[in-house]
Amino acid sequence: MTDILVLGGGYTGIAAAIRVAVRTRRIGGTVTLVNASARFTERLRLHQTAAGEKLADHSLKDLLAGTGIRFVQGRVAGLDVGRREARLDDGRVLGYDKLIYALGTVTDASVPGVAEHAHVYDDYAGTKQFAERLAALDGGTAVVAGGGLTGIESATELAEAHPDLHVVLVTRGRPGAMMGEKARAYLDAALERLGVEVRAGVDVAKVLPDAVELAGGELIHSDATLWTTGTSGLPVAAESGLTVDKRGRIVVDSALRSVSHPDVYAVGDAAAVTQPFGVMHGTCQGGIPTGLHAADSLAATLRGKTPKPFRFGYIHQPVSLGRKDGVIQFTRPDDSPRRWFLTGRAAVVYKETVSSSPIPTFKLLKRGLAPVWMFALTAGLA
Ligand SMILES: Cc1cc2nc3c(=O)[nH]c(=O)nc-3n(C[C@H](O)[C@H](O)[C@H](O)COP(=O)(O)OP(=O)(O)OC[C@H]3O[C@@H](n4cnc5c(N)ncnc54)[C@H](O)[C@@H]3O)c2cc1C
């Protein structure tokens, strides 16, 4: 009998919990999933929430129905990896034999003023507050900091949803620097069409209540600032003594076990997973496969078998440009751009298919199956 505790009910925690429940059904024991909210947060749609869109409400209990997984709503405040216990902020303590850590990341707020004055995508409630603030503005200016995919999706979504709002995208490099030249040209044209002012090649030194201050002292007025420049692991991992990388993510071996505490598996954004091309960056595309693999590794270990090494290769960088446009850059397994990309209506349909795929994936996993695209991602092409 083994008690398995899954921390985090995002994309990867749910996938891991369902898979491990199915794979250990005959072994016996319990699977418990802990999450701060009772509602499943579709993180990859938070820019839609920021723009004021009402999304479907998925309760975690419903998503886990029929699996035998116990759901506990609570916020994890500490981990004792020696005693194998997780402590919640209300004092409850949950013991485990094996742990799957899937708590994701939080926004890196190391730039002065971010914690006090910027909005971030750390949870649904905070994003909703940002949406309400924008809705209350009469015109005004919103600054989006960060020219990665999250910043681009946010700037375009806000500009489209609020035509009176002046949106400024502030970024150190070029927006979409990771994409191929042609896809990037399409992206630049879309930003211009939507009226987004791009300030590329600049560093934000400070966020103020009504402005962002660039290195060099220039002030850009901002009625609402969104910070999307980077994330790091929750302090709970490092504080527990688990080995973490410099971004606070749990360092794992090829079976996705913590290199310091093999009873702990780490998945998704919270894990530092090394592949031949380097350490994976946080995406749902890569996160769900890690959740499934950790579950398989854990089940294999309980059966006395040797877990297989995790293999992963990227296939795309899917970017929405508001609700009516998008650009999908297809990639090599190491995430470098291929020649092929999609734009316009085809990209919108593709992106929506990607964004809505986790819910049917959870349903398939409950039946012991996995979607076909999962095999493409984990075929060992990397
Ligand atoms: C706007 C936006 C667009 C994106 N678009 C894409 C995309 O198109 N494609 C793609 O592949 N990726 C995309 N991503 C990235 C993707 O959303 C993440 O990689 C993915 O959510 C990681 O899943 P996860 O399960 O590791 O973490 P999360 O989804 O963040 O889940 C973590 C869970 O842990 C819970 N939690 C956190 N702290 C605690 C605590 N202390 N106690 C209890 N529970 C806690 C949270 O409530 C949450 O449910 C996007 C991200 C953003 C913000």
Alpha helices in the chain, H assignment, sequence order: 11-23, 46-50, 60-64, 114-117, 124-136, 149-161, 181-193, 235-239, 284-302, 344-356, 358-366, 372-377
Contacts of 151 (CB under 8 A, 6+ apart): 144, 145, 169, 171, 175, 226, 228, 229
Tokens for 30? 């319990």
The pLDDT, as a whole number, for residue 377 is: 86
**Mean pLDDT (10-residue bins), the chain, 382 residues:** 97 98 93 98 97 96 98 98 98 98 97 98 97 95 97 98 98 96 98 98 98 98 97 98 98 98 98 97 97 98 97 97 98 97 98 96 96 80 54
Interval 125-170: pLDDT, tens: 999 999 999 999 989 999 999 999 999 999 999 999 999 999 999 9
The pLDDT, as a whole number, for residue 28 is: 86
Ligand 1 centre to CA of 190 (Å) is 26
Q: Which of 5, 34, 284, 342 to mutate to test the pocket of ligand 1 (most atoms within 8 A of CB)?
A: 284
Encode 336-365: b = buried (16+ Cβ within 10 Å), e = exposed.
ebeeebbbeeebbebbeebeebbeebbeeb
Q: Rounded CA gap, 247 and 126, in Å?
A: 22
Q: Which of 103, 156, 330, 377 to mutate to test the pocket of ligand 1 (most atoms within 8 A of CB)?
A: 103
Q: Rounded CA gap, 195 and 192, in Å?
A: 5
The pLDDT, as a whole number, for residue 1 is: 85
Nearest alpha carbon to residue 294 among 315, 312, 316:
312
What is the atom index within ligand 1 of the atom nearest the CA of 50?
1
Ligand 1 centre to CA of 218 (Å) is 33
Ligand 1 centre to CA of 290 (Å) is 13
| Whole-structure pTM value | 0.98
From the number of C-beta atoms within 10 Å of its C-beta (0-12, 13-18, 19+), residue 58 rates as middle
Contact 20, 29 (CB under 8 A): no
95 forms bridges with which residues in the sheet? 85
Ligand 1 centre to CA of 130 (Å) is 18
The pLDDT, as a whole number, for residue 380 is: 58
Alpha helices in 203-267, H assignment, sequence order: 235-239
Contacts of 13 (CB under 8 A, 6+ apart): 6, 7, 33, 35, 100, 102, 103, 267, 268, 291
326 forms bridges with which residues in the sheet? 320
Query: Up-side HSE of residue 371: CA atoms within 13 Å toward CB?
Result: 17
Question: Cα-Cα-Cα-Cα dihedral of 219, 176, 371, 373, to 10°?
Answer: -170
